[in-house]
Amino acid sequence: MVHAPTRPLAGMPPVRVNLYSDTQTRPTPAMKQAMMEAETGDEQGGLDPSIDALCDRMAALTGKQAAVFLPSGTMCNQIALLVHCQRGDNILAHRTSHILTSEGGGTAAQAGAQVMPLDGAGGQFSPDTLREALAPGSRHAPTQRLVSVEQTANLGGGTVWSLADLTEIAAIAHENGMATHMDGARLMNAVVAAGVPAAEMVAGYDSVWLDFTKGLGAPLGAVLCGTHAFIDEAWRWKQRMGGALRQGGICAAGCTYSLDHHVDRLADDHVNAATLARGLAQLQGITVQAPQTNLVFFDTSGTGRTAGDVAHDLRMKGVMVSTMGTYRGRACTHLDVDAAGIETALSVFREVLAA
């Protein structure tokens, strides 16, 4: 869970370097122009060409049959769980997974399913851990219906699941009659970091989605992909949940622009994250988890100060980070933070810790 002020508070200076989250990115002028020029129609009736084109592109990108445009990644997760699961079913996922920690209890409230939390370093469970969690069918126990992974694993440190583990986990699930789902909020970060095409990375997963509002920098939108039958049922839940749109192509055009212009540059965010991590690791009392993508997690316990205290003092000097517990902080690089911004942030970190 992220704890930090998300809007200016009285007496606080303007934000100079925003490392709070990649959700803080703003559409570029060129993206705004593409959005203003988008061809639109009534999306609910299948008449918005910009949304149709984005969904076709995402289905091809992920190697799936069909796709549906949704307002948010959380809605993608929740609709996928509603399609895959029945009430009382068990979902196997890491204990730090977004569906368990950060969606307001939606899995239980809406799908009526429960998450069986699995352990593992870096927000990932191993194939062996999954095997050990398998239970024989019993009328006394919930049905194990779905295995879910998160790529990248946010609370695990933005780690990238290996293709070998993803493939083996999917095979185990399918061999035991379970469906598979991938929370792909930062999927393209994983694709760029690992050098593995998206379709290959998600081949074993019955459903997958991509969020355009994080490192890709669009203001709204995510796309959920799967079979034709899965997407047909997802559309029904989209309608029930009030997610059907009208001229949503304005937003879809921003997402398409991000696919054209903001995927390869994710590598810049990864480089900036590595630079930030190296600088933080040199500060007395700070322990840093080596980043694999654009998320830098650091521990402040060695300074004798909480992460919240450090985050507050940073904010008072114009640098914004998030906190994930008493001593755990997170800094997230994205397209609104360049190399100079990283150096500014490190300078402010030094001032705050020296004080």
Query: Average pLDDT for residues 238-257, to the nearest whole number?
Result: 95
The pLDDT-based confidence of 8 (bands split at 50, 70, 90) is low
pLDDT at 355 over 80: yes
Query: Average pLDDT for residues 250-261, to the nearest whole number?
Result: 98
pLDDT score at 11 = 75
pLDDT at 168 over 70: yes
Percent of the chain topping pLDDT 90: 93
CA distance 37 to 254: 10
pLDDT at 5 over 60: no
pLDDT one-digit tens code per residue, 267-315: 999 999 999 999 999 999 999 999 999 999 999 999 999 999 999 999 9
Is the domain of 85 the same as that of 100? yes
CA distance 226 to 37: 29
* Mean pLDDT (the chain, rounded): 95
pLDDT at 6 over 70: no
The pLDDT-based confidence of 10 (bands split at 50, 70, 90) is low
pLDDT score at 282 = 97
Is the domain of 201 the same as that of 274? no
CA distance 190 to 185: 10
Amino acid making up residue 66: A
pLDDT one-digit tens code per residue, 103-156: 999 999 999 999 999 999 999 999 999 999 999 888 899 999 999 999 999 999
Is residue 227 situated within a structural domain? yes
Residue that finishes a domain, picked among 261, 276, 300: 261
The pLDDT-based confidence of 2 (bands split at 50, 70, 90) is very low
Is the domain of 210 the same as that of 191? yes
pLDDT at 333 over 90: yes
* Residues spanned by the domain of 290: 17-26+265-354
Query: Average pLDDT for residues 208-236, to the nearest whole number?
Result: 98
The pLDDT-based confidence of 44 (bands split at 50, 70, 90) is confident
CA distance 323 to 1: 8
pLDDT at 185 over 70: yes
Q: Residue 329 sits in a domain of what CATH number?
A: 3.90.1150.10
pLDDT one-digit tens code per residue, 227-241: 999 999 999 999 999
Is the domain of 127 the same as that of 149? yes
The alpha carbon torsion through 256, 260, 265, 266 (nearest 10 deg) reads 40
Is the domain of 203 the same as that of 309? no
Is the domain of 233 the same as that of 202? yes
Cβ neighbours for 14, distance < 8 A, ≥ 6 positions apart: 8, 318
